[in-house]
Structure 1
């Protein structure tokens, strides 16, 4: 993911879809070598596309979509940001100028959280005072308990970013997170991506879907959770969310790729959905 963001960031400002200057600094030496020169980066981009059809262009469009939504929610008064499965997400640092007065929580597995903190200290020095790392092992820990212990306040409007995580969970785990979000203040919102259930049950015929499912099945993180095509808005609405927005490859391409980039294939079996906590469901802190 960081490699795709780094390749895109190296492009001229007028051409690139997303910009993450920290992405390449998260990479090891072997991957940083892949960034040498535009012709070489173009070859690497093509190799990623051949190995995982539609992945590279989905990652950069998804990054931009999440960036845009975060900035919209901050402009709308969000007072907390919770990044679930934070990994090497750099938004707390890329958007530091817009996060003044906003408490940020980076949630991830203890091992990943420890490694991330060490990397951030090496890159920028001290971790900003408004950023809290929340180490959660979901096999033994409860998200609410861990967040509350680090200063999370359920009465503050919060934006939850959940990027590239749900396909590797089961329905019960997804529902636990959504239930927690629904207990947040009015005006809180979540955005996450998901895959079509047909990928998991083996009936998806979209280009690259079977290949990705097979390759991930040989790793420690197989694809296991999906939502039936066209049913994601109802999935969120049935759990109490309002103003649900569901977008996929076509919408992302129309929004971010100019006519010269329409040939770039965004994998259509991954989609992005967002929803809000309604005014009757949460209490807002004065």
Structure 2
């Protein structure tokens, strides 16, 4: 039985909303929508954090519970925002947000005619649509919803039902999902993406396999894994970061870049002189479909 806990989509939404509490020169991105997807308690949580002293105290508690998790969340959001911005500028045809949760990219960006498919489990999707329909402007016309269980349903079949054509150059965003599903589901999804039009791309987060296989690796995060399991959100799949290029090639893709905490610090935080702990237990792989 699942313990009562904040849902994974809402955890990510809280982190995105928190970034708006910092001074404009320190923010990695602008997101005025994420707070709208929070429950009453978390709205209160965000409101009291407007006070710098309270915010610093709460963030110190968060760091003790999960070092660098907040920094990791906002870094991956920034990275995927940058990849999406480039795809829009390069006139891609479609964006597919896999496991999109309460992500607000479809509200924050001008898609300039691109199709946008928001893919997630039906209960998450239903709540997401309900909240979005109540926002000023409602659900954007370019947004299409695709309910799916990655472990049991075929991504290609479900996208086709929603009107997607894989002969369109597409950016696939896949944030915070792969550790929760089977390796077979990860491989199957990447192989489907590899069957799409040349030049299509995928950017996805993953956790190192050593996190599961060696208790000596990242010992300070063992409790994070245990807590996830206790609340019914068990981490079951990791990838070998030192072999990520080979793994992606086996799935039919070519690696563009593999990044992690040290890369985020250099790209995002050092230029603005912002001190930020970033978890080393999650990385991002960015790959492309080649002939």
CA RMSD of aligned residues (A): 1.5
Q: Deviations over 1:84-142 (max 9, x none)?
A: 011100000100x2x02100000011111111100101123431221101111345432
Q: Does 1:28 align with 2:11?
A: no
Corresponding residue number in structure 1 for 2:80: 66
Query: Which one of 149, 152, 163 corresponds to residue 161 of structure 2?
Result: 149
Mapped to 1, the partners of 2:268 and 2:14 lie a distance apart of: 19
Corresponding residue number in structure 2 for 1:51: 65
Q: Deviations over 1:63-99 (max 9, x none)?
A: 100100111122122110000011100000100x2x0
Deviation at 1:220, TM superposition (A): 1.1
Q: Which stretch shows the higher mean deviation, 65-74 or 45-54?
A: 45-54
Alpha carbons of structure 1 residues 202 and 243: separation in structure 2 relative to 1, 3 Å: closer
Unaligned runs of 5+ in 1: 281-286
Corresponding residue number in structure 1 for 2:125: 113
Could you tell me whether the CA contact under 8 Å between 1:236 and 1:244 is conserved in 2? no
Mapped to 1, the partners of 2:216 and 2:31 lie a distance apart of: 32
Q: Does 1:42 align with 2:42?
A: no
Corresponding residue number in structure 1 for 2:16: 5
Q: Which stretch shows the higher mean deviation, 204-213 or 252-261?
A: 204-213
Q: Which stretch shows the higher mean deviation, 177-186 or 119-128?
A: 119-128
Q: Deviations over 1:146-201 (max 9, x none)?
A: 11111101111000000000011111000110011011111100000101111112
Corresponding residue number in structure 2 for 1:85: 99
Query: Which one of 271, 274, 286 corresponds to residue 261 of structure 1?
Result: 274
Q: TM-score, normalised by structure 1?
A: 0.92
Deviation at 1:10, TM superposition (A): 1.8
Equivalent residue runs for 1:130-279 within 5 Å: 130-138=142-150, 140-206=152-218, 208-258=220-270, 260-262=273-275, 264-278=276-290
Mapped to 1, the partners of 2:36 and 2:156 lie a distance apart of: 32
